[in-house]
Amino acid sequence: MKKLAVLGMGVCIALAFSSCKSSESAYKKAYEKAKQQELAEPQTTNVEEVAPIVSAPVQAKVVESASAGVRQEKVTVVSGTNGLKDYSVVCGSFGVKANAENLKSFLDNEGYNSLVVFNADAAMYRVVVSTFSDRASAANARDAFKAKYSNRKDFQGSWLLLRIN
């Protein structure tokens, strides 16, 4: 009887080790196949600087030329004291309101009268540095803001927002 029990446990152990080995080889085969496919894909060597990826797709219309950096969006003021005019300088976009509020606090400490506005279509909070009635003043303010913070790459992507109703 003892011999039969020992033999049964031996068979169970042998099956356990053999099943682990076969699954290991299946994983290894899948890994090697993926590695071969990765190596077979053409690799591009030209790397360009890309703007940060926004978590939600944004549908924005360019008003004039692409280099102008003007977007039309329907936004509502979430945080800030002064009203939103037609053209605004946007220096940050966030999916989380707390992040937008933190940047607003930083800008307020720097002497700006910043706002946080919400674009419901894109589900994004925009941080507005300043707002103007005309496009030329807004463009000048954007360029001055970029020049003042030339050491901050995140502010170099500042753009103009044309508010639509």
Q: Looking at residue 91, what is its pLDDT?
A: 94
Confidence class of residue 132 from pLDDT cuts 50, 70 and 90?
very high
Say if residues 122 and 59 touch (Cβ distance below 8 Å). Answer: yes
Answer yes or no: is 132 within a domain.
Answer: yes
Answer yes or no: is 16 within a domain.
Answer: no
CATH classification at residue 96: 3.30.70.1070
- What is the pTM (predicted TM-score) of this model? 0.58
Range of the domain at 78: 63-163
Answer yes or no: is 139 within a domain.
Answer: yes
Signed CA dihedral, 103, 104, 109, 110: sign only? positive
Q: What is the mean pLDDT of residues 9-35?
A: 71
* 139: pLDDT strictly greater than 60: yes
Structure-block tokens of residue 142: 């954007």
Confidence class of residue 87 from pLDDT cuts 50, 70 and 90?
very high
Q: Which residue has better confidence, 65 or 83?
A: 83
Domain count for the chain: 1
Answer yes or no: is 42 within a domain.
Answer: no
Q: What is the mean pLDDT of residues 129-147?
A: 94
Signed CA dihedral, 88, 91, 94, 98: sign only? negative
Q: What is the mean pLDDT of residues 129-143?
A: 94
* 61: pLDDT strictly greater than 50: no
Answer yes or no: is 49 within a domain.
Answer: no
Answer yes or no: is 147 within a domain.
Answer: yes
Signed CA dihedral, 99, 78, 89, 93: sign only? positive
Answer yes or no: is 111 within a domain.
Answer: yes
121: left (phi over 0), alpha (psi -120 to 50) or beta: alpha
Q: Percent of the chain beyond pLDDT 70? A: 76
Residue 134 CB partners (closer than 8 Å, separation 6+): 86, 87
Nearest to 24 by CA among 12, 32, 36: 32
Answer yes or no: is 5 within a domain.
Answer: no
Q: Percent of the chain beyond pLDDT 90? A: 49
